[in-house]
A and B are shown apart, each in its own frame.
Chain A
Amino acid sequence: MFKLFTQSCAPRSLHRLYSTKTTVQLVAELRKLTNAPIIKARQALTETNNDFDAALKWLEKDLLASGLAKAEKIKDRTASEGLVSVSVLDGGFGSRIGSGVGPVKAAIIELNCESDFVSRTDEFSRLAADIAQTVAQMAGQQGSASNFTALDVASLLETPLKSGTIHSSIMDLIARIGENITLRRAALLAPTSAESKLRVGSYVHNAAPAFPTSGRVGVLSLLSLRSPRLSDLLKDDVFLTDTQKLERALARQTAGFLTRAIREKAHEEDDLETVLYQQPFAMLGGEKAGLPVRQVLDEWQKQWELEEFEVADFVRWEVGESQSK
């Protein structure tokens, strides 16, 4: 059928077909650029008389449509693999991420797929990181009582991302990868506190080197501190470097242990190790690693003459945990 078609088409495209590149080469190039299925890349060229640029446009449009169709077909397939991705836009007081004076702005999301082969691809990791970053840029809710705001996924899907929306980006990837991909949950951290200065620490476990903010377990932990001599501390490099180290260790600790609460057990039946302040601070390393977390923080508070140094809040997400098993 294709042969008939090319024979009847204009001399210019015939010329182009035979003198420049063969259809196979064009298909190969289209695939390099888009990762589109072979059958689609071929169809794109047929539809556009082998005009490469037009075919590329056709394909981009079609990927969205075929993604939608595919998504509908496979929407019931379990997607419990994937990535948790965090994005810190502003690390808060004295942080080297963002303005350095706050306010804290960060986000955490979970993007699911069916197999862990797919969750390891660059394409999937990039999408997870892009979504987290987009969420972090959203405006926080004024007067919200909690530090973390769980976002409604359905409305979040309509948020602009790249040339389309989060939803269209997901559909596009479904068309290329052929697995069910879903945005499971998303939360925004945009706290306001009049009394204390806030900072955010983050940690992602099992991240690929190219995508350090996406992995199997993700943590955002919010620290609050108060001191009469804040402006001095802000200029003290030792303090800032050490705080950063401590903050990272705290986030790592939260991720590494099955942390569920800060001060008291979240549920009666929980183990004591689920309480952050009671855990031995193993992730700090060094000689203090055996001490309870709170004791290390107390010593730190005393050393720098702070009025307060607390983990105010945290979120610890693990891939697949929110789904019934």
Chain B
Amino acid sequence: MIRIAVCKAALPNLASFSSALPRSLPRTALSLNLFARRGYAEAYNRTKPHMNIGTIGHVDHGKTTLTAAITKVLAESGGATFTGYDQIDKAPEEKARGITINSATSSTKLLRVTMVTLTVLDMLINMITGAAQMDGAIIVVSATDGQMPQTREHLLLARQVGIKKLVVFINKVDMISDPEMLELVDMEIRDLLSTYNFDGENTPIVMGSALAALDGRNDDIGSTKIKELVKACDEWLELPQRDLEKPFLLAVEDVFSISGRGTVATGRVERGTALKGTEVEILGLGDSIKTTLTGIEMFHKELDRAEAGDNMGALLRGVKREQIRRGQVIIEPGSMKAHKKFRAQVYILTKDEGGRYTPFMQGYRPQLFLRTADVTVTLNFAEGTPDAAEKMAMPGDNVELDCELYFDLALEVGSRFTLREANRTIGTGVVTKILE
């Protein structure tokens, strides 16, 4: 399944900075749970690849038209319900804009086109919290303008939110009669892609007219090109590794001692699968113990296998109750390491979002919550930040911070956490680099 999110850069009345934020926050606060729950509910199509694609581009370059055109073209093969320009443009919420399409190129894939209205900050927040994570993007560029100064910012942002591969759609080619000019647009965009560490040489660039496709004319630049674009997304963009395929991880919520059986740790399986009898490692908070998973229990039933999304009790061989506690993780041995220092991208919540009303400077020490763990952390601006000693982070800011934990925790690039102070969530972040 592929999901396309169209990012509208600050449209009038829809995306004023302040009105966009409160909408996005309830989502962010619940993101981890929502994600997992969704995974559970959609268990029936676990075998189908699911991908989120964002569409990024300048205000007038035709993102909405393109989205409408995709639904229209794919509707002809029965793979979608046609959704007009007005419907997409005026839909108030991201949810209301969701459209699911059967891609014609592959019977196993689905396209879910979602229209979102986001600013740079919103996209970063989504990346940080994991809500509406993008796995790939379509960059829309008008042939009449070519790339513009802000195209650089679009690519920079795509990099920053972790998008590794892009597909480019050069729109409005019917307005340019000279094929050499189109070659120039192609050449320039490939140059620019390479500058920002994308694969400029091999990135698919599709040239067409979204409007022609929408009007049902000039099939050679219209519907044919839309099909080509969808095919390029299918083939070029990479699917993320799914939770089930990742190494096993259970976050310990509680520990019990059951007489006659031994120590049982309960918690949710965040990812992967585990069979009864496999070797596991208990990691974090200063300890690392290797042991064997001798029993899996769910809803008072003994099971042989646990998988991502399950709430389970893990019976551990030869582990005393005092040796394991909340905040640690049970993992496939060696699949993760515990760290104390890391770099992170952090969003500081505003007062309206329940966060701080005052800024903070270097050396601030809130509590860091990661899975079930809760550890004091010292925050500093990322090494190399100019004038770090005089810099402040204000509510509403998105900042790069170097974090130093009081105890080590199992974490890796992409791990998400929240920062709290006096029972108030003041920030949310994602690990971008392990430092120690």
Contact = CB atoms under 8 A, between A and B. Distances in A.
Interface of A: 2, 22-24, 27-28, 31, 35, 37-39, 42, 76-78, 80-81, 114-118, 120-124, 176-179, 205-206, 209, 217, 248, 252, 255-258, 273, 282-283, 285, 320, 325
A23 B389 contact: no
A28 B176 CA distance: 16
B10 A81 contact: yes
A177 B150 contact: yes
B176 A24 contact: no
B150 A252 contact: no
B149 A177 contact: yes
Interface pairs A-B: 9 shortest CB-CB: A256-B359, A115-B9, A38-B146, A78-B12, A115-B10, A37-B145, A117-B153, A121-B149, A117-B150
B358 interface: yes
Interface in B391-408: 392, 394, 397
B12 A77 contact: yes
Interface of B: 9-10, 12-13, 16-19, 58-60, 119-121, 143-146, 148-150, 152-154, 157, 175-176, 178, 180-181, 183-185, 187-188, 357-362, 386, 389-390, 392, 394, 397
Contacts of B187: 28
Given A28-B184, A39-B145, A178-B58, A257 B358 contact: yes
Contacts of B19: 325
Nearest to B184: A24
B7 to A, nearest CB: 10
B178 A117 contact: no
Given A115-B59, A282-B360, A282-B361, A80 B16 contact: yes
A38 B150 contact: no
Given A77-B12, A252-B392, 15 more contacts: A24-B180, A28-B184, A28-B187, A37-B144, A38-B145, A42-B181, A114-B59, A115-B10, A117-B153, A118-B150, A178-B148, A256-B358, A282-B358, A285-B361, A320-B17
A286 to B, nearest CB: 10
B59 A179 contact: yes
Contacts of A37: 144-146, 148
28 contacts: A24-B183, A24-B184, A27-B181, A27-B184, A28-B184, A31-B146, A31-B188, A35-B149, A37-B148, A39-B175, A78-B12, A78-B16, A80-B10, A80-B17, A115-B150, A116-B119, A116-B121, A118-B149, A121-B149, A205-B394, A217-B394, A252-B390, A256-B359, A273-B357, A273-B358, A282-B360, A285-B389, A320-B17
A97 B185 CA distance: 46
Most central of B145, B150, B184, B185 by chain A CB within 10 Å = B150
Among B9, B16, B146, chain A packs the most CB atoms within 10 A around the CB of B146
Contacts of B144: 37-39
A249 to B, nearest CB: 8
B193 to A, nearest CB: 16
B166 to A, nearest CB: 16
Contacts of A39: 144-145, 175-176, 181
Given A24-B184, A81-B119, A115-B10, A283 B392 contact: yes
